[in-house]
Chains A and B, each alone.
Chain A
Amino acid sequence: MTNEFGEFREEIRASSDLELKLLAEGEEAVIISLRDPLAQRPDTVN
Chain B
Amino acid sequence: MQENRVPLAESAPDREAASESQPPENAVRIAKAGFAGVRLQGKPAKAPGLVELLFDSFLQPLAQGARSSGSEIRQMLYRADPYQVDVHIEATPGANKLVVMGQLLDLRNPDVPGRGVPVTISNLRATWCRP
Contacts and interface: CB of A to CB of B under 8 A. Distances in A.
Interface of A: 1-24, 27-28, 30-32, 34, 37-46
Contacts of A5: 103, 113, 115
Given A14-B96, A38-B71, A2 B122 contact: no
A8 B97 contact: no
Contact of B82 (A21, A23, A24): A24
A8 B68 contact: no
A21 B115 contact: no
Given A32-B80, A41-B69, A18 B123 contact: yes
A19 B123 contact: yes
Closest A-B pairs by Cβ, 8 of them: A6-B113, A6-B114, A15-B123, A21-B120, A6-B104, A23-B118, A30-B80, A41-B58
A8 to B, nearest CB: 4
